[in-house]
A and B are shown apart, each in its own frame.
Chain A
Amino acid sequence: MSETTDLAEMTRRVAQREELLGRLRKILIEHLQLRREVDELDPDAPLFGSGFGLDSLDAVELVVCLETEFGLRVNDPTVLRQSFRSLNTMIDLVLGHAGPA
């Protein structure tokens, strides 16, 4: 792959992640009633505990949102624990289950 193609691919990935970040931030604010502005939701910040303070009920809501918003059904608790750490890990989860672009 040429350097130009590499850069084009990287640019495409940035756009893809930025779009997903926006959608997930919206879910946190609109579905989980997180009282934060969009720009406050840093992509690597912890979602649970001391971070944005989500709890186990929010986790259930997030599972539902993943299915309704992204058609993603995840039942494995190990995967969920890892993927619900931050917005970035949630984006990884969504991209990992996405079909070829």
Chain B
Amino acid sequence: MSVERELHALRTATTVTPGDHVARVKLVGVGAADLLERVSPRALFVRTGKMSHTLLLDEAARPLADVYLCCDEDDFFILAEGLTAADVVAYLRPHATDLEVTFEDLTESHAVLSLGGPYAWELLGELTTPDVIGLPYLGFFHAEAFTCFRGGKTGEYGYDLLVERDRLAGVRAQLADIGTRFDLVESTLATQDVAQLEAFFWNARRQSPVGLTPIELQLQWRVTYGRAFPGAAALAERRQTAHRRAVLLASATALEPGAPLRFGDRTIGTVLDAAFSPTRGDWVGMGIVERAVAHSGLELASGAAAVHTLSAPSINNRSLHVDPQRHCFATRATDVFPPLVRR
């Protein structure tokens, strides 16, 4: 299956992607919330059935993982990218010595399947119950065969299904059956990575070099200042001195991660990550540039490549315009949506 076909399905229909790269851990016990309050850079305002989207930072405030903290009564599920489940437990354990909490690494017992696309909600409704339409962003619920978390990192409707291993084949079979009515396409992690770049959604597996913090990466919305958490002191210090910021790049010519970015004859930053976007028909990337010129609408250069900066995202996500009360997969051909590509 080509990245192009998978991306087209993600942007216009539905995809399912194995989530082997997603670390899944369950914290059990009345100390779970206290533990996460100690390590989460974002204040943990979640009640049961809700998720908080935040980070795990090292002491230098470098983001190690992109995490959902999901409150399930006293317990919490953690879904993380950037660290393994064992690494997540190792990160948390030193902060829990005085707390009543145990760690369950769900890697062996559970699989993750990610559903995505502007009609993923409808596919999921057929798989479970039409009530899923009402599931808010960053909410989750327990279905018979899995727990369903609504998140998404591509700008489209996104649901992560946490499935017990012995029920995985059954869920897969159901998806294969129902999926034929939604042009469901099996997608890969490589395609998800391109989709995240198109959406300018930070990718913990590719965009976390030493020296960058949530400030440069435009991730301060996942931080509540004034709290104690690992990396808080370094982040407060960086706040006084930060001089770079991430920008979304587009170019008709291939962009090379690590290559310098120039503004006139002056080097102002580097390409952090890049990939060809079949959706747009050009290259998209994330650059880290001097804050004074970190704006969209600029013409830069990288090697021989002419590069321009854009306001994120680089595409018009159809999910933004698909309203489950008014649209459905069956009427997609006659429904009117903006063009997918933003220039």
Contacts and interface: CB of A to CB of B under 8 A. Distances in A.
A13 B297 contact: yes
Given A3-B264, A89-B311, A81 B321 contact: yes
B320 A82 contact: yes
A22 interface: no
Contacts of A13: 295, 297-298
B165 interface: no
A45 B220 contact: yes
Nearest to A49: B137
A42 interface: yes
* Contact-size category for B: 20 to 34
Given A44-B200, A81-B321, A92-B296, A51 B221 contact: yes
A44 B264 contact: no
B222 to A, nearest CB: 8
Given A14-B292, A14-B298, A52-B221, A88 B138 contact: no
A39 interface: yes
B182 interface: no
Given A82-B338, A86-B311, A45 B299 contact: no
Nearest to A7: B264
Main secondary structure of the interface of B (DSSP, over half): loop
B312 interface: yes
B218 A43 contact: yes
A26 interface: no
A72 B298 CA distance: 24
Contacts of B200: 44
B97 to A, nearest CB: 31
A44 B321 contact: no
Interface centre among A40, A44, A45, A95 (most CB of B within 10 A): A44
Given A13-B297, A13-B298, A86-B311, A40 B225 contact: yes
24 contacts: A3-B264, A10-B263, A10-B293, A14-B292, A14-B293, A17-B296, A40-B220, A40-B221, A40-B223, A42-B219, A42-B221, A43-B218, A43-B294, A44-B200, A45-B218, A45-B219, A45-B220, A49-B138, A50-B53, A50-B138, A88-B295, A91-B296, A92-B296, A92-B297
A-B pairs, top 10 by smallest CB distance, nearest first, are A88-B311, A42-B218, A44-B312, A45-B221, A17-B295, A7-B264, A50-B53, A51-B221, A40-B220, A89-B311
Interface of B: 53, 137-138, 200, 218-221, 223, 225, 239, 245-246, 248, 263-264, 292-299, 311-313, 316, 320-321, 338
